[in-house]
Structure 1
Amino acid sequence: MTQTTANRRRFMQVIGATGAVAVAGCLGNDADASENSTESEDEEGLPAAKAVDADRIARDPTDIPGPVDWNEPREHDITLETERVTAEIEPGVTFEYMTFGGQVPGPMVRVRQGDTVNLTFDVPDDMNIDMHNVDFHAVYGPGGGADATTLAPGDDPTQISFTAEYAGAFIYHCAVPNMDQHISSGMFGSILVEPEDGLPEVDHEFYLGQHEIYTDGEVGEEGHHGFDFDAMKKEEPTYVVFNGQAYGFTEDGVGPMEANTGETARVYFANGGPNLLSSLHPIGNVWSNYYRDGDLLSEPDKNIETAPIAPGTTAAGEMEFPVPGPVKIVDHALSRVVHKGALAVVDVAGEENPDVYDGDP
């Protein structure tokens, strides 16, 4: 796939065929020439794509523990295992990810305020080449647990125990000295500490994590992409993706998320970063209830169109679905959508509702 072909395909995904026809002339030959000249500058090219360790790096957005249904504090025994994984950012483009549990983001941890978490942290020698640890933003303690969990590959697993003292949606991430590289490579996830009274019931819950990937190749350039430290220092990512994969939850990826008209959904959204703010927007919808910065105790904000989420933050937003059709979840820094991969789709099925929306009156 050439870079030009990849960019035009992404452009069609984002705005749809009708919009593409209307503005295709604005791209013109100049855009094509620019893209092709960028590609031709890389005379040596990338090494061939590597064999992958996993069919997909993107964690299933429905892979979420069930809502809290207990009323007294309890203990949770949780194991986090780190794993280096070679997988595709997009077809034909491989990259070596660093992960908690083999996918991006790491598994969601879900507890109730006042619960105790007994964490076992492991860095197996056969799955890692780097030192790792974990910093939970939901933990009172040195480094959010990072000080006590720092391990080299092959070290004996370590254990910590903590009480979830404060409610909210929080991020966790690797926090070794070169944490920016590790987070960019996939080492982040979310811990949800539900308030004692729980959260309002919804029909669907989805779990997404945004991060930047800095590589030594161009977007769409087939082959194996290495990590580019200079690009990271300049905060110039090759890709900005959800759950480790460019356009993963679209028809061209593993498929969209699904819902029906009349239902509600809550999206837990972790911005791993490590550097860029996300401007989270559902195209064709709003966040009817928005839990800014993971605050689950205050009254949620209402009908928010675009929500800024700082790196190192988990937020939550709810949507209603009165009409069918695709709802496109994007970072509204739109070059990241059109060119870099920051797009996921919720495919809403059901009967048309012309009282709310009529596309052909």
Structure 2
Amino acid sequence: MRLTFLGVLTALLALTLGGLVVPAPATAAPPRVVSRAVSFDVENTNATTALCLPDNESYRLHARLVGPARAIEGRSGPLRINVLVHDEGTGSWSWHLRGRGLRGYDYATRLAERGETSLVIDRLGYGASGHPTSTCLGAQADVLHQVVQHLRSGRYDFADPRLGSTPAAAHVVTHGLGLGAAIAQVEAATFDDVAGLVLMSWTDRSATQLAQEELGRQRAACLSGSAAAPAAGAAAFRQQLFAVAPARVQRAAAARRVPVPCGDVLSRAPMRLASGLGAGQVDAPVLLLYGGADALTRPSARTAQASAYPTRTTTRTFTGAGSALPLERPAQVGTTVLRWLDQSQG
């Protein structure tokens, strides 16, 4: 019987290995991702330079931990938690968008599938979190600092007490979108307690005419005595935030838009000033992300923003994308952020 070269080689390998079959290395399966409701006890106070007057009362801030089951169950060793801070008029859903036909547009889950754990918060005045009679953007940064400290100590609660103790964070990285980026920047500059900043669609340099018109509409409503500025119309909302997201994603986002608390509206000027001055005090590495078709920030201002930080800064612009980057270019944004986390955080 004639033996081919391959047959002889196979026989020799079998003899050498004692007849054992050695399988090819398997590709690691993605971790099992879970999303768990949590809450924090916070004080509506302001220790930042963004001057404004909160009510100094205690509130409950609600959020969700999204990540690998092992991490959220406290079985993964030292943990990095990414705190996701939403823009005005939106909410935690902008980072954790779920629903029929929306698979792939959930930023927190995309990170979790690569081993990252995120805290997706509803800021005070939004969603299930407390709604103060008086709050402001400086207080939002102060509350974010309190959340970071609670994460470090593990002093917060699962909504379901049967889940036991909440995991503590060895490191915290804050991600902010739009006004949420300003809040994250002022928190980092004031308290110096985060390991990195991912700032999307924000500049403290100058805004477009469209952004100024929207702020003017909000201010007029608030100065007339309203507690919150009504949400922008669905068409205006989509024009402000989107350029390339599928229509189903834009409709889902527009259906979830909410009024903007007047404390946030009327404290924009001191917040922008504090953000601009604070950029030079940020010690953590910074990732700046922009959409090339962002209707709310001027291209020249985006370029200038990177030069404001004394620390290592990386800038990326996504061609054709609008302001709502996690919903506009989810795959590219997620990949960029994950690569930066690997490189900058170790």
TM-score above 0.5, yes or no: no
Highest Rg: 1 or 2? 2
**Higher relative helix content:** 2
With a CA cutoff of 8 Å and minimum separation of 6, indicate the structure with the bigger relative contact order. 2
Q: Return the TM-score normalized by structure 2.
A: 0.28
Q: Return the TM-score normalized by structure 1.
A: 0.28
